[in-house]
Amino acid sequence: MRKIVLEVENSAVDKLMWFLEQLKEVVTVESYEINNNHRVNLANDPMAQELKKRIQEIDDGAVELIPHAEIMHRIYAKLEPKCI
């Protein structure tokens, strides 16, 4: 794999990031700068890595997803008897 450093006009960043997302099987976005003074390093960010892991678990079907309405229904069902 090769590393490439690019300078991109602010007006084109969203388009470039969309394009790179289409290539996610062969391209890894390690980091990028915002306004030339803030660097985001996704490779070393534990939260980014955890999020990536959880998204992969969802994609693999290893995690059961429950709709928000169902979760709220379960919570209210447990709370209702205690409120009466």
CB distance 31 to 39 below 8 Å = yes
Question: Quick count: other Cβ atoms within 10 Å of Cβ 27?
Answer: 13
**What does the DSSP assignment read for 22-36?**
HTTTT----EEEETT
Question: Is residue 77, in this structure, part of any structural domain at all?
Answer: yes
Cα–Cα–Cα angle for 61, 51, 65, rounded to 5 degrees: 35
Total structural domains within the chain: 1
**49 lies in which domain range?**
10-83
In a domain, 66, yes or no: yes
User: pLDDT band at residue 62, thresholds of 50, 70 and 90?
Assistant: very high
Q: Is the model's pLDDT at 43 over the cut of 60?
A: yes
Within a domain: residue 1? no
pLDDT of residue 82: 77
Residue 3 lies in a domain: no
Q: Specify whether the CB–CB gap between 30 and 43 falls below 8 A.
A: yes
